[in-house]
Amino acid sequence: MIDVRQLRYFLAVAEELHFAKAADRLDVAQSALSTQIQRLERDLGVTLLNRNKRQPVTLTDAGHLFHTEAVAALRHLERADQVGRLAARGLAGVIRIGFVASAVSSGLLSRLLTEFRCSHENVRVEVVQMESPRQLEALKDGQIDVGIVRPRRLYPAGVIAKVVQTERLLVAMARSHPLASRASVPARVLAEQPFIVPQFDDEEGFGHVLSALGKAGGFTPHLEYRVQDFISAISMASAGYGIAIVPESMRNFSQPGICYKQIADFSLPVHLALAHRRRELSAAVRAFVKLGVAI
């Protein structure tokens, strides 16, 4: 099996075309250099160099072919060594990130990626949108490395999370809605409104937000539509199908015909958390999490 030292020795001789000069360049004894070249030729079963005391060293036809491959192989080995060392420091590798839609609308995902790329430009980042329960399963199964999720009371075994962003809630409605002319709305006036509820199927999703709103306004919310995400909810609200309670950052989603109002007597905040495996082996992932909780 060819080793790196033999490649380096051969390339030095091939470039200098002189054993003594190559030995000086490598800072080794000429006899040791000659022995390694002979061993390489013996292992390959071919003569790579023409040796003649009265003439300069030259490459054989096989030597020319081997030289091209040796240069490429050494470059790959050097690159592999460099990548390995970078990976050990968290400066190379691949990170798979899951996120909920609010991570985009709030700018959180963009800020995290921008900050991380400044110091880890050799790390490849792959992002995929998925709802919080799916992200937590994907984290547990190793399909993603980091998740931007809605916080949970409980997380799967081996998964932990830290809140990294907090925002208030707004009510989204069509601009033609009777309440749209108000600067803000008290919770009680929403009593008879049909609600469009995103992430209702998630037991810790926005269903509990409506319960808290109803308690603040003294009514039981009328759940007219259940949808998977905030964008769907806003699209339906803009068309007049009902109203939706959404994070403030969703007003960055440009949708014709929609308006957002503060709820005067309802201050329940909503959060985004950075979730990851407790025992993470990847230095790149650990670096991303460290940046995320500090940003």
pLDDT at 113 over 90: yes
Alpha-carbon distance of 159 to 32, in angstroms, equals 55
243/228: higher pLDDT = 243
Mean pLDDT of the 235-261 span? 92
Domain with CATH 1.10.10.10 in the chain: 4-88
The pLDDT, as a whole number, for residue 90 is 58
**Fold adopted by 93-166+272-294:** D-Maltodextrin-Binding Protein; domain 2 (3.40.190)
Domain with CATH 3.40.190.10 in the chain: 93-166+272-294, 169-268
Confidence of residue 159 (pLDDT cuts 50, 70, 90): very high
Alpha-carbon distance of 122 to 53, in angstroms, equals 49
pLDDT at 43 over 60: yes
CATH of 169-268, one of 3.40.50.2300, 3.40.190.10, 3.30.590.10, 3.40.309.10: 3.40.190.10
Q: For Cα atoms 196, 197, 198, give the angle at the middle one, nearest 5 degrees.
A: 120
The pLDDT, as a whole number, for residue 209 is 86
**Residue-wise pLDDT tens digits, 85-102:** 666 665 657 889 999 988
Dihedrals phi, psi of 251, to nearest 5 degrees: -70, -15
pLDDT at 152 over 60: yes
Mean pLDDT of the 123-136 span? 91
Q: Does domain 4-88 have CATH number 2.30.30.100?
A: no
The pLDDT, as a whole number, for residue 88 is 65
- pTM for the whole thing? 0.68
**Residue-wise pLDDT tens digits, 257-277:** 999 999 999 989 999 999 999
Mean pLDDT of the 148-166 span? 92
Return the exposure string of 148-167: e unless at least 16 CB atoms fall within 10 Å of the residue's CB, then b: bbbebeebeeebbbeebbeb
